[in-house]
Each structure stands twice: as structure tokens, then as C-alpha cells.
Chain A
Amino acid sequence: MKIVALVKQVPDTETKIKLTADGKALETAGIKYVVNPYDEFAIEEAVRIKEKNSGSTVIAVGMGPERMKEALRTALAMGADEGIYIAEENLPGKDGLITARLLAEAIKSLSPDLVICGKQAIDDDEGRVGPALSHYLELPFVANVTKLTVESGKLNLHRELEGRTEVMEVALPAVVSAQKGLNEPRYPSLINIMQAKKKTINELKPEQLLSNDELNKLSTLEETGLNLPPAREKGRKLQGDPEQMVKEIVTFLTETVKIS
């Protein structure tokens, strides 16, 4: 099988988000970047499928600024065979549609049997690239997968919905997005990391994939500003006798929160 795993690099979950002095952009100084946690599940699953099906290959594909290549190296260290990097430059905007279309153009010629991405990137939290990419590749899509088995020509999978699990069957080739619970991503060993340095990352520029005219058509959004959410008002603090505190909590719940 040929499996594509999509990779994005994002700020670590412990990052405190600040705005620049002019309030127009995020302050990026001091941010630690990691592989998007949901993409780790995607890479791990791709590698596990490869390990079970001899003759398979895993190609990690990602788009972003130069530092994005570190994330692709991590994917290679986890077991992907090669990488494709699309430089995020000379684009008419930051629209997710542009990303999805460029990724699709890069993936199309590979004719993969399966494309796995994370359910969303934890920076923009859109979850758009997977389903949009599936449209451009003309493939079926399933979001939020927590269990996956490959059978001849199809996937059997479980996907999580709000409070329920859907058991599904999808014809291959297909695009799916990974949710936490799908697997436990491995930590690459030092040897894996060394070996990954010898693997190839092919670099592509947007203009090699799409004309400027086509890119411009995909730019449909305009960002008008950023702000930080209003700070919460700090409440009362209770300390001391547990029994007395229980009474005060009950009063708070019944009189202020008005629970029924």
C-alpha cells in the first residue's frame, strides 16, 4: 500500500499566546514548535499499516515555513520513508483552501491508497484541510477516526461523534482524519533519528503546482484582526473547615449558578 501522512508544525500546547505590540499578529518569539499532536496519530497509523503490509511505503507531506522540515524529519524518524515539503511562499493568502489544493496537487501524482491527516491542527483549529483535500482528490472522507483496519479494497473503521461511536466501511482509496485514541505514537530512537537524516525530502514551490490565477481564485478570506479573549473575573476563595466550605459551595450552586 502507498500511504500519505499529512504533517503540520504547530506551537506546543503549553504555549502562552501573546500578540505583537501593534496587536496585529501573534508574538512568535520563544515559541516551541512541535508536530501537530493529531498528526502524530496519523503518522503512527500510517507506519503501523506499512509494518503489517509488506511492500508498503509511507510518504509524509507537509506545507509551511522552512522550519516545517523539522516536523517532516520527525515523521521520517517515526518510520515514514520519504518526505515532500511544500514551501509556504508567494501565496495570495493564508486560506486553508490554498493549502488543501496545493497538498492535493502534490499528492495526486503519487496515487496513494490512503491519506491520513490529523483531525485538526491545534493552531487554527479548523479541521478543513482533510475534507477539502478529499474533494480535490475526488476521494471519500471520514473525520475523527479512533480505530482502523485495512481489508482488501476497503477500510473498516470506528469514528467518534459527540457521545457515540460510528462503525463504518469506506472504499479505498480514501482520506481519513485521526482522533486521539487511534494509537499511541512511538518515540523515535536515536538510531531512527540518525537514519531519518539519510532519507529524502523533496521540495516543491507553489508555482510548480498551481498557476497564480488558480491560487488567487482560492483566496476567499480576509483576516480583520486578532485579539485575546476577555480575562475572567477572579472569584471568591474559600479556605478552612471542609464542612463549612461544603455549605458555601451549596449556597453558591443554588443561589448564583442556580442549578436545577
Chain B
Amino acid sequence: MRKIYVVNWLKDGEMPQVNLELLEAAKSIKTGLNGSITLLLLGKPTPEQLNSLKNRGADEIRYFDTPELNQYNLETYTQAISGELEGSEYLLILPGTIQGKELGGKLSARHTAAYIPDVLNFTSNNGEVVFIRPIYAGKARTGLKGKAGSPWIITIRPNTFAPAQETGTEAKIEVKAYTPQNSRIKTLEVIKPQTATLDVSEAKVIVSGGRGMKEAEHFKLLEELAQVINGAVGASRMAVDAGWRDHQAQVGQTGKIVTPDLYLACGISGAIQHLVGMSSSKYIVAINKDAEAPIFEIASLSVVGDVFEILPGLTVELKKIKEQQLCAK
């Protein structure tokens, strides 16, 4: 038997979508481990938030009624989580975000745990669970097993598991208190982009540009299209190195690994280091002048043509459809 802890926290007072994905992962692993699921929420959820979580597969929900935990802090979170872990045979599940991985790495040393970040999938056989994770930015995958007797800590990549649906059983709710310790780390401010732009790592649709966009100014075409189809604007390493886009938008091995439903690659030829960052997208549409561009090898729809002849028309047509849909409602 191995107990499962799912750990998450509120982001600006809101419950992140990834929370339900972690619960879904926990639910599917639970059968093989014969354990129970405890959701550890750092920070205090609203009654509505708690209600929406209590029948999603957790056997128990513990949350902290301690204002100091309402904001993420690596040191206080490490302390608070460690205080809740019982025994040494457990599985701790964290979100595969920057903060989640920072916590995972720290906790894995503190508890001498097997650590498996960015889990994509797992197989389970007689209490033995093998976790599959990408290496070399997804160019290969490795199967890993935590040893018996050790704690296991994994992080789950966002958009990998479906959100947990409601079930009949209700979780037991427990309110915990935590005595805040002094942290050597202070968050002074959180800067959000001025316009509500979507980050490529969270977007379901990404419109991305590369060398073929020719200059920074032309990314307007991508922004306009992205706006119509609720997408984020991404970029290849070349476009970022040329200073056309911020590195936060970079998709690829030294940028972000993305798994949207739709990846629309415009003027991107498809260097290996870019392809590994987006080749797990559900659908890939690539527009490129060069019929031999490597990106066409993995595209669901390959369009041999000039981005400047296609993008404006595409935006106009999609806008028309969107307006018709709005009228129909």
C-alpha cells in the first residue's frame, strides 16, 4: 500500500485547472498502488472552490487556514508539505510547473525520494508502477521506477491528463494550521503582461513564427490571427535570437515544450531543436515556401506557400466564421 498526496495551491486566489489533472492522474495510479488520495491545498480555498473539489476522487482534502501560505514560497511550502507526510512509502504528485519542479527537487532531497519530473504516462502491474518521462526534450522517453521503501515524488506536465470528473464519493475535509517560519526568500511583486496575453505553455492554440516572418513587424499578422482563434503567439529560436520576440515565447529545446491542440507554424522550417518542442501537439499546420522544409515531415496539414499571401486571407476567413457563430447565438 502506498498513500498518494496531491499537492497544489491557488494562483492569484484561483484554482488552477492543472489541479483537476493531478487528481485524474492520482485516480488512475491509485488502483495499482492500493492507496488513498489526500489532496493537500496550501492556502485557503473559498467554500465554492472547496465544493467543486470535494467529489473529484480525493478521499481526503486538507487545506491550511494560514494566510502566510496563500502565496507560494519555496521555503514555507517545503516546511508545510513535509509536516503532512506520513511514513516513507508514499507518492507525492506535484504540478509540472516551474514552481512545482522547484518544490519537487527540494522535497526529493529532504526526504531522499525517487524523483520523476514531467510524467507523461505510467504502466502499473502488481503494485509496480513504471513512470514514463521525456528526455532530450522528448527526442526519447525513459521508463523509471521508484524503489520500494523510498518515497516517490513525481510532477505531471500540464495538458497531459484530462481533468478529473465528479464522482459519487465525497472527500473528508480537514483544516490544518501551520506555524509560519521565517523565509529567506521574499516575493516583492508579480509582474503580469500588460495585455492579457496567453503564455505558450498554457495555450490550447499556438500561432508560431520563424525566419520566414522576415522581421519583428510582421508578427502582427500572427497576433491578429491568434486573437481570432484564441491562441498564443510563439516563436522559433531564430526569431527570438534576432530580437523579434521575447524569449518567453520561444518554443523548442532551449525554450518551452508545448502540447497544444493546434500548432500553426508560419515560416518555420523545422530545426530539430524546434520540432522537439512542439511535435506532441495534437494537430500541426505548417505554412512554408520551401516544399522540402523538415517541418512538413510531422505536419498534419502542410501548406506550401508564402505566409504573406496566406495569413491575411486566413485571418479574414476565420473572423467571418467567428462573427457568424456570434450572430447565430
Q: Measuring CB to CB, which residues of chain A are less than 8 angstroms from any residue of chain B?
A: 11, 13-17, 19, 26, 37-38, 95-97, 100-101, 122-136, 140-144, 158-171, 174, 180-181, 217-229, 232-239, 242-243, 245-250, 252-254, 256-257, 259-260
With A168-B186, A169-B188 as known contacts, state yes or no: A131 contacts B106, CB within 8 Å: yes
Least CB distance, A166 to chain B, in whole angstroms:
5
Closest A residue to B12 by beta carbon equals A164
**Measured between alpha carbons, how far is A164 from B202 in the docked complex, in Å?**
12
B314 engages A13 (CB within 8 Å)? no
Query: Assuming A19-B140, A239-B305, A250-B317, what are 14 further A-B pairs, CB within 8 angstroms?
Result: A14-B272, A17-B140, A26-B140, A132-B105, A140-B75, A162-B97, A164-B193, A166-B189, A171-B184, A229-B140, A232-B279, A236-B302, A242-B305, A242-B313
B248 in contact (CB, < 8 A): yes
- Residue ID in chain B nearest A172 by CB atoms: B184
Are B139 and A17 closer than 8 Å at their CB atoms? Answer: yes
Determine if B321 and A254 form an interchain contact, defined as CB atoms under 8 angstroms apart: yes
With a cutoff of 8 Å between Cβ atoms, the chain A residues found around residue B176 in the complex are none
How distant is the Cα of A220 from the Cα of B318 in the complex, in angstroms? 52
- Are A257's CB and B283's CB within 8 A? yes
B144 and A222 form a contact (CB under 8 A): yes
- B301-A252 in contact (CB<8A): yes
**A13's contact among B189, B205, B253, by CB below 8 Å, is which?**
B253
Chain B residues, Cβ within 8 Å of A170: 184-186
Q: What are 5 A-to-B residue pairs whose CB atoms are below 8 Å?
A: A97-B112, A163-B248, A181-B248, A228-B140, A235-B300
Q: Are B145 and A11 in contact (CB under 8 A)?
A: no
Residue of B at shortest CB range from A243? B313
- A163 and B186 contact, CB distance less than 8 A: no
Interface size class of B (residues with CB under 8 A): 35 or more
Contact of B146 among A133, A221, A249 (CB under 8 A): A221
Q: What residues of chain A lie closer than 8 Å to B86, measured between beta carbons?
A: none
Instruction: Say yes or no: is B60 at the interface (Cβ < 8 Å to chain A).
Output: no
Q: With an 8 A cutoff between CB atoms, is B53 at the interface?
A: no
Residues A160 and B314 in contact in the complex (CB < 8 Å), given A13-B254, A169-B188, A235-B299: no
Contact with A along B89-114 (1 / 0, CB 8 A): 00000000111011111101110111
B59 at interface (Cβ–Cβ under 8 A)? Answer: no
Residues of B within 8 A of A17 (CB): 136, 139-140
B interface residue numbers (CB < 8 A to A): 74-75, 97-99, 101-106, 108-110, 112-118, 130, 134-147, 150, 183-193, 197-199, 201-202, 205, 229-230, 246-248, 250, 253-255, 261-262, 271-273, 279-280, 282-285, 291, 296-306, 309-310, 313-314, 317-318, 321
Q: Is the CB of A134 within 8 A of B190?
A: no
Give chain A's interface secondary structure class. mixed
Contacts of A165 in B (CB 8 A): 190-191
CA distance A132 to B102 in the complex (A): 9
Chain A residues, Cβ within 8 Å of B272:
13-16
Please name the residue on chain B nearest to A156 by beta carbon: B188
Instruction: Give chain B residues whose Cβ lies under 8 Å from the Cβ of A220.
Output: 112-115, 146-147, 150
| Set A19, A164, A174: member contacting B192, Cβ < 8 A | A164
Distance in Å from the Cβ of A215 to the closest Cβ of chain B?
Answer: 12
B145 / chain A contacts, CB cutoff of 8 Å? 221-224
CB-based nearest A residue for B152: A220
Which residue of chain B lies nearest to A155 when distances are taken between CB atoms in the complex? B185
Cβ contact within 8 Å between A125 and B137:
yes
By beta carbon, the residue of chain B nearest A260 is B230
Kindly provide the distance from the CB of B128 to the nearest chain A CB, expressed in whole angstroms. 9
B109 with A143: CB separation less than 8 A: no
Across the interface, name the chain B residue whose C-beta is closest to A124: B135
